[in-house]
Amino acid sequence: MRKVIRHSITCLALFMTCRVLAAEQQIYEVFVDIPGVSFYVLPEEARLSVDGLALEWDVSNGGFAPFRTHFTVLNSNGGLSVKLEESVVLHRSDKTSQIELEVKLNDTSLSINSKLIVDDAKTPKRLALDIKANMPRGGYIPGNYVGSMSLIFEASPP
């Protein structure tokens, strides 16, 4: 009787071992592509994208104080061109009055036509963005004004 029990235990142990050896194995190939940084435009004040840009009223001169911020740009292939998607105009909430804004990047006035701002941006460059309100004919009319500005940055070849 001892032999039968031992034999049964041995068969059971072999059966359990075979079960473990029969496990499936999956092999996956992993591919990774790490791009080189060749083009970027980073605003110095990231909060502007969330909070918006507010021009401050300057009581002493009866107009808006100019606004200035900076961008850091890089194009490892050459220069950088910029344009406005459309003219930048602030409209009063009742649409009866508007204020045009002048936008400059790196001391170059921007328009809807693309302009080369930096010939060689192969190393990071810090560029000043200046926004100035142009007083409308007849002066500023009190009220709440709002508008939007869309800058389009384009990589320019060398």
Q: Which residues lie closer than 8 Å to 153 by C-beta, 6 or more apart?
A: 41, 73, 80, 81, 82
Q: Which residue positions in the chain have pLDDT lower than 50?
A: 1-15, 18
pLDDT for residue 98? 94
pTM over 0.75: no
Pairing of strands 115-118, 125-134: unpaired
Domain ranges of the chain: 39-156
| Cα separation, 155 vs 158, whole angstroms | 9
User: For 39-156, which CATH superfamily applies?
Assistant: CFA/I fimbrial subunit E, pilin domain (2.60.40.2040)
Please name the helix (run of DSSP H) or strand (run of DSSP E) that holds residue 100, with its range, or none: strand 98-105
List, for residues 118-147, the tens digit of each pLDDT value.
Answer: 999 999 999 999 999 999 998 999 999 999
| Largest Cα span, the chain | 116
pLDDT for residue 3? 43
